[in-house]
Amino acid sequence: MTTLAAGSPSRGSKEGRGVATIAHIALIIWSLLVILPLLWTLLSSFKSTQEVLGNPLSLPGKLHFENYANAWTTAGIGRYFLNTVIVVGTALVLVMVLGAMCAYVLARFTFPGNRLIYYSMLAGLTFPVFLAIVPLFFVLKNLSLLNTLPGLIMTYVAFALPFTVFFLHSFFKALPGEIYEAAQIDGAGEWRSFFSVMLPMAKPGMASVAIFNFLGLWNQFLLPVALNTDSDNYVLSQGMASFASQAGYAVDFGALFAAVIITVAPVLVVYIIFQRQLQVSVTQGGVK
């Protein structure tokens, strides 16, 4: 009996170490699957086309920094990058402000139609994007916003708003009402209470949903291709596709890989900067 009792923790600890070992091996394999292609793309961006085609897995004999200059100017990635920053930046600000205000009202106030509006927002999450392409095309055409950056911004906001409201609704719902009441007693109006008191308290949720929206909007491809055919207003996803297709058999692979790095770098930088806020948000969501 004593031997069995003494052996149980040892057996459990061995099983625990076995599970931990398998988990670490799986994570290492997954990390390699993610990191190695990025590293290969980064190294290839400093190679010439001959080096890429001759020995794709070799290190660059010379660092061809001109690949980035060629991608930025000759391939037009600079113009596409600026268009993407304008579209995604403006859409992100609008969707965060409008989404936070909508989620706050739906979470904190009771009025006729509250649940109807909320469930309508949730229904927007289930609507496939490709089914809305044709109606969106004619709506933007009738508004003279087809093939324009403002039209693309409005479309981005419309498709990102339901997820933003859904994500932030639970955060505002869980905020203590005593703080709101204290702000009201101190003379703060509804706008002041929201922007100065309640919104800062939902900062982890705001940071998390901003990251998710940024990733989704930055990598958007279907909407720009269908609703924005003016090459002067191309975003990065369109620019990359155009760069690869127009080159034909004379592809400058060094510049192409450099353009990929330029496209991916902002996403990595944003995630690295805000990863702590994302972790805090996930932790708080699990506790709730």
CATH number at residue 159: 1.10.3720.10
Across 192-199, average pLDDT: 87
User: Do 120 and 20 share a structural domain?
Assistant: no
Q: What pLDDT score does 248 carry?
A: 56
**249 three-class SS:** coil
Q: What pLDDT score does 229 carry?
A: 87
Fill in the amino acid letter for 253.
F
77-86, 113-122, 224-233, 250-259: which has the minimum mean pLDDT? 250-259
pLDDT band for position 27 (50/70/90)?
very high
Fill in the amino acid letter for 103.
A
How is residue 2 written in tokens? 């004593």
- Check pLDDT > 70 for residue 288: no
Across the chain, mean pLDDT equals 85
Residue 169 lies inside a defined structural domain of this protein? yes
Query: 220 Cβ partners below 8 Å, 6+ apart?
Result: 156, 235, 237
Q: What pLDDT score does 18 carry?
A: 79
Q: What pLDDT score does 74 carry?
A: 81
43-47, 220-224, 284-288: which has the minimum mean pLDDT? 284-288
Residue 92 lies inside a defined structural domain of this protein? yes
User: Do 143 and 207 share a structural domain?
Assistant: yes
CA distances, 23 to each of 18, 27, 28 (Å):
9, 6, 9
User: Do 110 and 25 share a structural domain?
Assistant: no
- Check pLDDT > 70 for residue 247: no
> What's the pTM value of the predicted model, to 2 decimals?
0.83
User: Do 6 and 117 share a structural domain?
Assistant: no
Q: What pLDDT score does 224 carry?
A: 92
User: Do 76 and 36 share a structural domain?
Assistant: no
Distance CA(136)–CA(144), nearest Å, equals 12
Q: Which domain holds residue 100?
A: 70-287
Residue 91 lies inside a defined structural domain of this protein? yes
Cα 237 to its chain centre, rounded Å, is: 14
Residue 89 lies inside a defined structural domain of this protein? yes
pLDDT 10s digits, 85-109: 999 999 999 999 999 999 999 998 8
**48 three-class SS:** coil
| Tally of domains in the chain | 2
pLDDT 10s digits, 149-190: 999 999 999 999 999 999 999 889 888 878 888 888 888 888
How is residue 238 written in tokens? 């369109």
Query: 168 Cβ partners below 8 Å, 6+ apart?
Result: 99, 100, 103, 104, 107, 202, 205, 206, 209
